[in-house]
Structure 1
């Protein structure tokens, strides 16, 4: 099982660990694309603070994020699972998982990123600010920049099992499963049952809880149909219908009564 996650806007501080070692990151097929984004982002933030703030879409209160980006090569690095914070990651609570669940998390969780493309939760990275929606002056839109490299790398990473896609729309634009990989992919949205609407906070929180439930329960569904049954067994209310065409991703709705 491969679980595709969005990052979080909020991030923990880099701390005082050893600095980034790009060659140590997983998915080495993304190395060239990573280097291109890192080079331009660091140069932009080090040379023109006002332009960097405009490009990154930062408010005046977040101006400090620019200096952080300028020091990415020397800042301390920590496991990505510690860097990413926010609602989904609070609900997932990787630190409190037992040893077996943590091992499974390092194998199966893949976090998409405007800067790194995608990383496993044990990849050591510094704190940064660069969303997938950014359009860098030289490279252009980051989702488009990542698309070619992802198309070569991600099908192999997906292996032969279930792909559980929990990404937001901006990050989903960097890689869309195709062919037989699409046929074993399930994307999930979380709806407030009374209104049938997506509400950001509990959408993220419920996705974090879903991943945690699967990891803690040692559940590894073979495909989308098995995922639906597994989630129902875990107590989730799931609506799903098998695609009418082959090699098409499943869409699952998880219904939540209370917003919390």
Structure 2
């Protein structure tokens, strides 16, 4: 099974890995698109105002442009350590035991506007690029990624639990993927989508699925694993799960 996580806008600083080597990343079929986007970001970084506009950033975020300028030379760290924020706080990679971390490495991947898809331990630098960005000379990222990324995702063996946010889901479709929606149950049984705590609860579920001793490769097993983590996961339709809080 594969749990596909959204990335985060924020990234951890530094790293002790070597500089970016696209050939060291999983899914080598994606290297041509990755290389094109890395070159586009580095070139764009020479024009700070243009970079801020293309990336949807404010003047106070010019440090993000500096990160992009150094994409080829800055140190790397494993993807699961690079991405930060609410979901990754709940995932709590640093708090995993060695056996849990090993299982998580094989079951987790991150959707990326820059790299398409990376495994948990793929070495990546800090960068800034969102799925909604439109780079000069490149255009909408969905049109660029879809032809390359969809065949890769279609070949993944076993179930794929798709936790991507809307813009990243738009970069590529996944045939037969299992989606997860976080909902709250109101009086009378009515359910409403949760927005504020959505990422935290997805992070908790991702941790449970990634660390389970036996791989939860069916929906029934996923529901059982979630229950052991005090999470209420229900199937509401084929390929559709709701995490009820």
TM-score after normalising by structure 2:
0.92
User: Residues 186 and 252 of structure 1 are in contact (CA less than 8 Å); yes or no, is this contact kept in structure 2?
Assistant: yes
Structure 1: gaps spanning 5 or more residues:
244-249
Answer yes or no: is 1:255 the counterpart of 2:240.
no
Answer yes or no: is 1:228 the counterpart of 2:228.
no
The 5-angstrom pairing of residues 126-205 of structure 1 reads 126-156=125-155, 158-159=156-157, 161-178=158-175, 182=176, 185-194=177-186, 196-205=191-200
Answer yes or no: is 1:27 the counterpart of 2:44.
no
* Alignment correspondent of 1:36: 36
How has the CA–CA distance of structure 1 residues 206 and 170 changed in structure 2, closer, same or farther, with 3 Å as cutoff? same
Count of aligned pairs? 242
Q: CA offsets per residue over residues 89-144 of structure 1, 9 Å max, x none?
A: 00001121112211111111110111111111211111000011111121111122
User: Residues 41 and 70 of structure 1 are in contact (CA less than 8 Å); yes or no, is this contact kept in structure 2?
Assistant: yes
Answer yes or no: is 1:11 the counterpart of 2:3.
no
User: Residues 132 and 170 of structure 1 are in contact (CA less than 8 Å); yes or no, is this contact kept in structure 2?
Assistant: yes
* Alignment correspondent of 1:112: 111
User: Residues 187 and 251 of structure 1 are in contact (CA less than 8 Å); yes or no, is this contact kept in structure 2?
Assistant: yes
Q: CA offsets per residue over residues 221-248 of structure 1, 9 Å max, x none?
A: 22234423443454322332343xxxxx
Deviation at residue 207 of structure 1 after TM alignment: 0.7
SS in 1 for 2:7: coil
CA distance in 2, matches of 1:241, 1:207: 17
CA distance in 1, matches of 2:236, 2:147: 31
CA distance in 1, matches of 2:144, 2:151: 13
How has the CA–CA distance of structure 1 residues 206 and 221 changed in structure 2, closer, same or farther, with 3 Å as cutoff? same
User: Residues 25 and 124 of structure 1 are in contact (CA less than 8 Å); yes or no, is this contact kept in structure 2?
Assistant: yes
User: Residues 3 and 210 of structure 2 are in contact (CA less than 8 Å); yes or no, is this contact kept in structure 1?
Assistant: no
Moved more, 118-127 or 98-107: 98-107
User: Residues 20 and 73 of structure 1 are in contact (CA less than 8 Å); yes or no, is this contact kept in structure 2?
Assistant: yes
Cα RMSD (Å) of the superposition? 1.7
Answer yes or no: is 1:68 the counterpart of 2:99.
no
Deviation at residue 16 of structure 1 after TM alignment: 5.0
Structure 2: gaps spanning 5 or more residues:
none
